[in-house]
Chains A and B, each alone.
Chain A
Amino acid sequence: MKYIDGFRDPAVAAGLRARLDAVAAGLQAWNRPVNIMEVCGSHTMAIARYGIRDILPKNVTLISGPGCPVCVTPTSYIDIAITLAERGAIVVSFGDMIAVPGSSSSLAGCRARGGTVEIGYSPMRAIELAEAHPEREVVFLAIGFETTTAPVVAMLELAIRRGLRNLSLLTAFKRVPPALTALLSDPEIRIDAFLCPAHVSAIIGADAYKPFVETWKVPCVVAGFEPLDILYGILGILEQAARGEAAVANLYARVVTAQGNVHAQSLMAKYLEPVDAAWRGIGVIPASGLGLRPEFADYDAGRRHGVVVGLGAENPACACGEVLKGKQRPPDCPLFGAACTPDHPVGPCMVSSEGTCAAYFKYIVN
């Protein structure tokens, strides 16, 4: 536990706070807040859990980004997964997806009505089930950012090697860099810097943020998920801002390298290719997803079962889209805390344990 406690040391936190205050004081001349987007849902959760928003200098604003894969998965994806389970397939999913509302039901509801919906802690669960039930179709709900994509593809490779014919992926993989481009291109959103995700960066590498630094001149700082990591990451951003610089800084070097996990990258490239993808609440972002290459169409649940994931119906009052883009804070949504709670989520940002609304509901004091 020393390894963890070292990244939660109150004395070091106090020292970092003092430095944050000092650097932020020098940024008063901006006459507006420095807007930092934390892209990743795990950062959003850690920031809320450690009360970090509460201690930041007044002229520093944290905006929660779209980095929760469950939150950005479109309603129609849930609907299709339910349809496949109703047609008799064994649907295998990570636990977070189970309670997410589709347009009329959730996978939990489908399971209660007799559909086979299995929760897997590892993608390998899909292989176990496909081998145990050769007479049934097994569909793995393949959602996630690069961090999750890599192990799912590793599972697919193993399934192909073992000659499994009854296993397919319903893909809704998302890529972080195209989403950042879309956010930076939106004239309604002002982002001064990115606090870049920790584990996604372990796969794609810190160098993946270089284009943003070069084209958009926004500092990109990779930070870990511990509270001191986050404070240190924000300090790194403010120091760049104070110097008028924009650079990629990897402050999570104990896990992330410049190149990332090259083996995972080549495995993903072997099986997957960029596709346009629908982000719940945001819309379609070009080349922001990964789909199976045509030569692996047999393993594509969409092609195999003749289903296409579109955007699906949303509750018009739900502000998840604005929240995911950082345009609104969760309490600004009329449904937040009233019609939409973790027990009865309307929007995806509330149902996922890493969703921005869930983080606000659970932890935020004011």
Chain B
Amino acid sequence: MSEQTIQLGHGGGGLLSRDLIQREIVSRFGDGALKGLPDGATLPVPAGRAMVFTTDSFVVQPLEFPGGNIGDLAVHGTVNDLAVCGARPRWLSLALILEEGLPMTTLRRVLDSVKKAADDCGVAVVTGDTKVVAHGQCDGMYVNTAGIGELMDGFELGVGRVAAGDPILVSGPVGDHGMAVLAAREGIRITHGVTSDTGPVHRLVQGVREWAPHIRFMRDPTRGGLASVLNEVVEGQATGILLRETDLPFSAGAKAAAEMLGVDLLQVASEGRMILVCAPPVSEAILKVWRGMPEGRGAVKIGEVTATKGRVILETITGGRRLVDVPRGELLPRIC
């Protein structure tokens, strides 16, 4: 039985712990800095290069959902945070909090996904930690990743640089991740249903590096969706944003699920998309590059920055206008 589920002893620091680390962690991530399991990773930082450091914790329920699981989500989440800061992701830490009774097969699937996603993103898992808590003290497993990346030349990002007339680009349909998780949790089964968009955006950033000085702002619209990110862009600024409902990219599956659950897709998370605000002359070139990449083929312009102070406004399909508000607290708990 000990082989089939996580036991408290797997986190006790004794033989069971060592066995688990050897079989499940070292076997996957044991090359490079993790070799020999030192207490910390020693990293070769390039001289004179600014580094970007970030961390994120993942508590998604269910652990596995259409399109991904908590493992690849934890890699993409941190990689994407680094990428939208203008960094090239290099190293990750991986900390696991496991609940007693978690099926070993689930843990293996999650770790396989971590490995695959990290390899795909060109990042190395260089340090980590595993703890086990008693049954009922966590929901299967929680994951924390921290990431370090090298800041690429030319990026100078900040909401303060955003100016009226700047176009707002998004790399693909938004809201698929949140709706996939919510539909899975509510047991909604839709034919050709919604699949999470969890995926990396670092290639999208690297692909548009040559226009870095003209890029004002980048962000991945996770919790709170487009609505939250765009409101952050204009909050306290002299600028506003005008979106056009007819230009907003949503997948058919997300629209169907959102319709059934009464959810506004503007407020729903994506985990593999990015928003970019740039100077007007470079937007077409950026869209062209993005559309040539698998993760950016649905890229579109959704609106532009205006002089309407501090407000995000949507021109709806009727031609009328309404506010795009930040979501209230209760929306969709635990989607990442």
Binding site for B on A (CB under 8 A): 1, 4, 8-10, 13-14, 17, 48-55, 227, 231, 342-343, 361-365
Set B255, B256, B311, B317: member contacting A50, Cβ < 8 A = B317
Residues on the A chain within 8 Å of B314, using CB: 51
Known contacts A4-B259, A362-B325, A54 near B317 by CB under 8 Å: no
Task: Say whether B328 contacts A227, CB under 8 Å.
Answer: no
B319 CB within 8 Å of chain A: yes
Interfacial residues of chain B within 74-98, with CB under 8 A of chain A in the complex: none
> Chain A's nearest CB lies how many Å from the CB of B300?
16
B252 CB within 8 Å of chain A: yes
Residues on the B chain within 8 Å of A1, using CB: 252, 255-256, 259
B318 CB within 8 Å of chain A: yes
> Chain B's nearest CB lies how many Å from the CB of A238?
16
Task: Say whether B318 contacts A51, CB under 8 Å.
Answer: yes
When C-beta atoms are compared, the residue in chain A nearest to B324 turns out to be A363
> Chain B's nearest CB lies how many Å from the CB of A191?
23
Most chain A C-beta atoms within 10 Å of own C-beta, residue among B255, B259, B318: B318
Known contacts A1-B255, A4-B259, A365-B313, A343 near B319 by CB under 8 Å: no
> Chain A's nearest CB lies how many Å from the CB of B139?
20
A153 to B321, CA, bound (A): 40
A76 to B320, CA, bound (A): 39
Task: Say whether A10 contacts B323, CB under 8 Å.
Answer: no
Set A14, A48, A363: member contacting B319, Cβ < 8 A = A14
**How many B residues have CB within 8 A of the partner chain?**
20
Task: Say whether B323 contacts A364, CB under 8 Å.
Answer: yes
Residues on the A chain within 8 Å of B318, using CB: 10, 13, 17, 50-52, 55, 227, 231
Q: Is the interface of A mostly helix, strand, loop or mixed?
A: helix
A4 to B319, CA, bound (A): 18
A50 to B322, CA, bound (A): 7
Task: Say whether B328 contacts A49, CB under 8 Å.
Answer: no
Residues on the A chain within 8 Å of B42, using CB: none
When C-beta atoms are compared, the residue in chain A nearest to B244 turns out to be A10
Task: Say whether B328 contacts A51, CB under 8 Å.
Answer: no
Task: Say whether A51 contacts B315, CB under 8 Å.
Answer: yes
When C-beta atoms are compared, the residue in chain B nearest to A8 turns out to be B317
When C-beta atoms are compared, the residue in chain B nearest to A13 turns out to be B318
Task: Say whether B317 contacts A363, CB under 8 Å.
Answer: no
> Chain B's nearest CB lies how many Å from the CB of A9?
7
Most chain B C-beta atoms within 10 Å of own C-beta, residue among A8, A343, A363: A363
When C-beta atoms are compared, the residue in chain A nearest to B317 turns out to be A10
B246 CB within 8 Å of chain A: yes
Most chain A C-beta atoms within 10 Å of own C-beta, residue among B255, B314, B315, B319: B319
